[in-house]
Amino acid sequence: MNKPHASNTILYLDGVSVSFDGFKALNDLSLYVEEGELRAIIGPNGAGKTTMMDVITGKTRPDKGDVIFNGGVDLTQLDEAAIANLGIGRKFQKPTVFENHTVFDNLELALKGHRRPQSSLFFRLSGEQQYRINEVLGIIALTDVHMMQAGSLSHGQKQWLEIGMLLMQDPDLLLVDEPVAGMTDAETEATAVLLKDIAKTRSVVVVEHDMVFVKSLDCRVNVLHEGSVLAEGSLDVVQQNEQVIEVYLGR
C-alpha cells in the first residue's frame, strides 16, 4: 500500500480520524482510489464504512486528516450539496428514493445541473434530457414502470432506481453503499454487471457485505476494521490475510 501523490488520485483519504463521544469511528484511515478504478470496501459492522462515506460526502467533518477529490479539491471545507455538484454521487445503504414521485420524476430530479430554485421554477425538460432519462430507464430496466410511484417499486427496483439517479447526476465518482442488500441472486448478478459497466467510464467505490458479490466485481478490495484499513489487495489475497481471517472472515 504505497502512498501515492494526491494529484494522481480521484479520491485521497490520508490519516482521517473521526470520533463520536470518544468512540473512534475512523482511526487514521488512509485510502487512495485511482481514476477509473472500481474498488470494494468490506469490513464487519462498526468498521467505519458508512462514516467514511459520510466524511467523503460532507455529512461528517473529520477531526483530522486530508480528504481530497480529483487531485486537488479539499472536501473537508465543503457541504453536501457542493460536494454532490463537484461530481460525487452517493447511494445510501437503505434505498432512498422519492416515494411520492414517479420513477421518471425521480430521475429528472437527479438530472445534472439546474440546482438553483429560480432555474427550477421555470425549468423545462429538453429533448436531449428526455432522451438521457429514457436511456437510463433502459439501463436500470425500469422503462415499463416509469410512470409508477417510486414508493410502489420492489426493494430491488428501488436499489436500481437509486443507481439510476446516480447515473443522471453524471458523477466522476460513485459511492455505493450495500447495493445488493435484500436482492435476489439474479438481481445481485445483474447489479455486478451494471456496476462493472459503470466503472468503465467512472470511478466507483462499493461498500458491501456480500462476499459472492464482491468476488464477482473482481477488483481491489480494502478491508476496514475499527476505523482503519486492515488489508488491501485482490479478494483472494485479503482472504488469505491472517488478521482479516481473525477479525472478519473467520468469525
Partner 1 sequence: MTHQPLLLRIVKEPMAVSLLSVLILAAFLVPMLNLMLPSDSAFHVPSYVVTLLGKYLTYALLALSVDLVWGYCGILSLGHGAFFALGGYAMGMYMMRQIGDRGVYGNAELPDFMVFLNWQELPWYWYGFDSFGFAMLMVVLVPGLLAFVFGWFAFRSRVTGVYLSIITQAMTYALLLAFFRNDMGFGGNNGLTDFKDILGFGLQTDGMRATLFFLSAMAVVTGYLVCRFIVDSRLGRVIVAIRDAESRTRFLGYRVEYYKLFVFTVSAVLAGIAGALYVPQVGIINPSEFSPANSIEIVIWVALGGRGSLTGPIIGALVVNYAKSYFTGALPEVWLFMLGGLFIFSTLFLPKGLVGTKAISDAFEEQRLRLAKFLRPYDYAEGGEGR
According to the binding rule CB under 8 A, does residue 161 interact with partner 1? no
57 or 70: CB nearest partner 1: 57
168 or 247: CB nearest partner 1: 168
Stretch that binds partner 1, among 12-20, 27-35, 40-48, 77-85 (CB under 8 A): 77-85
Smallest distance, partner 1 to C-beta of residue 102, A: 8
Q: Is 116 helix (H, G, I), strand (E, B) or coil?
A: coil
Stretch that binds partner 1, among 4-12, 80-88, 182-190, 210-218 (CB under 8 A): 80-88
According to the binding rule CB under 8 A, does residue 143 interact with partner 1? no
Q: How far apart are CA 140 and CA 67, in angstroms?
A: 31
150 or 214: CB nearest partner 1: 150
According to the binding rule CB under 8 A, does residue 149 interact with partner 1? no
DSSP state of 61: -
Q: How far apart are CA 112 and CA 107, in angstroms?
A: 10
Smallest distance, partner 1 to C-beta of residue 78, A: 11
Q: How far apart are CA 141 and CA 3, in angstroms?
A: 40
34 or 170: CB nearest partner 1: 170
Angle at 124 between CA 118 and CA 125, to 5 degrees: 130
Q: How far apart are CA 123 and CA 116, in angstroms?
A: 10
Q: Which of 8, 77, 120, 234 binds partner 1 (CB under 8 A)?
A: 120
Element (H, E) at 11: strand 9-20
Q: Which of 44, 92, 233, 241 binds partner 1 (CB under 8 A)?
A: 92
Q: Is 99 helix (H, G, I), strand (E, B) or coil?
A: coil
Q: Which of residues 43-62 bind partner 1 (CB under 8 A)?
A: 57, 59
Give the CA distances from residue 68 to residues 8, 35, 149, 150, in Å, rounded to whole numbers and listed in that order: 11, 13, 38, 34
According to the binding rule CB under 8 A, does residue 126 interact with partner 1? no
Q: How far apart are CA 188 and CA 47, in angstroms?
A: 23
Q: How far apart are CA 152 and CA 171, in angstroms?
A: 27
Q: Is 198 helix (H, G, I), strand (E, B) or coil?
A: helix
Cα 108 from chain centroid? 20
147 or 186: CB nearest partner 1: 147
Q: Which of residues 163-222 bind partner 1 (CB under 8 A)?
A: 165, 169
The residues that touch partner 1, with contacts defined as CB under 8 A, are 57, 59, 80-81, 84-85, 89-90, 92, 96-101, 104-105, 108-110, 114-117, 120-125, 147, 165, 169
